[in-house]
Amino acid sequence: MRTSLMFAMPVVLLSAVVSAQDGAKEKSPAVLENDTAKISYMIGLKFGSDVKGAGLELDMAAFGAAVDDMLKDREPALTQEQMAEVQNVLRERMAAKQKELQEKSDAEAAAFLSANGARPEVKTTASGLQYEALTEGTGPMPKETDTVSVHYKGSLLDGTVFDSSYDRGEPANFKVNGLIPGWVEALQLMKVGSKWKLFIPSELGYGDGGTRGIPPGATLVFEMELLEIKASEQPAGGDNAQGGDSQTITIQ
């Protein structure tokens, strides 16, 4: 295992462990009497988190035997040819699982947007973008070529926040035509001073590819305040309203 991975692992694990502790869980029976045991357990947590996230089913006896064989330099129980065949089986299972999850996500998104669009305070455009005006401003409306200053919070349908200028304590500046289609459309409908809640179908967001922190096919929810239209300048700000060729910004 590379040293860089080992140093990064505690940071990666922290969010997974905190997430696991959010609800009532059965307490682990593991006894960790020394640092080696704790390191081993930490590596196991990371691997277990990855396996769970991928929706894979493991035979723990076979898994433990494989790790033991590798550490003790034994001849593997599978030949190279057999492992190649198993890799194909694994790929097929993962593809089937991904398809199942995608179909479930699509159905949930369609049901949400249908119910949400029926609310009288929500407007739906021809593209499928939905928005709710929380506050209507009185200023000018930006053009596609303008740079705007906005405050925003982006979340998934389950409430998971993936990006927020509020958390960073300062608004973000964006070139309107460098953003995801849902934002490009919404911003040109807003007046400066407006605060809207956007409901963006995946085809107006990140589509089936997703992006870091946003799964494939995700419907996005944004609370957004249009603060001002700025003179042309280099945009700077958050990550998750931006589309294909726009500059990359780190998710906070």
Among residues 131, 146, 152, 239, the one annotated as catalytic is: 152
Among residues 131, 174, 199, 222, which one is catalytic?
A: 222
Instruction: Map tokens 């040109």 to a residue.
Output: 188
Residue 42 CB neighbour total at 10 angstroms: 16
Assigned token pair, 143: 């053009």
Q: Active-site residue among 146, 163, 199, 239?
A: 163
String of DSSP letters for the chain: --HHHHHHHHHHHHHHHHHHTSS--PPP-----SHHHHHHHHHHHHHHHHHHHHT----HHHHHHHHHHHHTTPPPSS-HHHHHHHHHHHHHHHHHHHHHHHHHHHHHHHHHHHHHHTSTTEEE-TTS-EEEEEE---SPPPPTT-EEEEEEEEEETT--EEEEHHHHTS-EEEEGGGB-HHHHHHHTTPPTT-EEEEEE-GGGTTTTT-BTTB-TT--EEEEEEEEEEEPS---B--STTB-TTSPP----
Active site includes 206? yes
* CA diameter of the chain: 74
Choosing from 131, 174, 199, 206, which is the catalytic residue?
206
Residue of 131, 162, 174, 199 marked catalytic: 162
Choose, from 146, 174, 180, 200, the residue flagged as catalytic: 180
7 is known as an active-site residue: no
User: 180 catalytic, yes or no?
Assistant: yes
222 catalytic? Reply is: yes
Instruction: Judge whether 131 counts as a catalytic residue.
Output: no
Our answer to whether residue 163 is catalytic in this structure is yes
Active site residues: 152, 162-163, 180, 206, 222
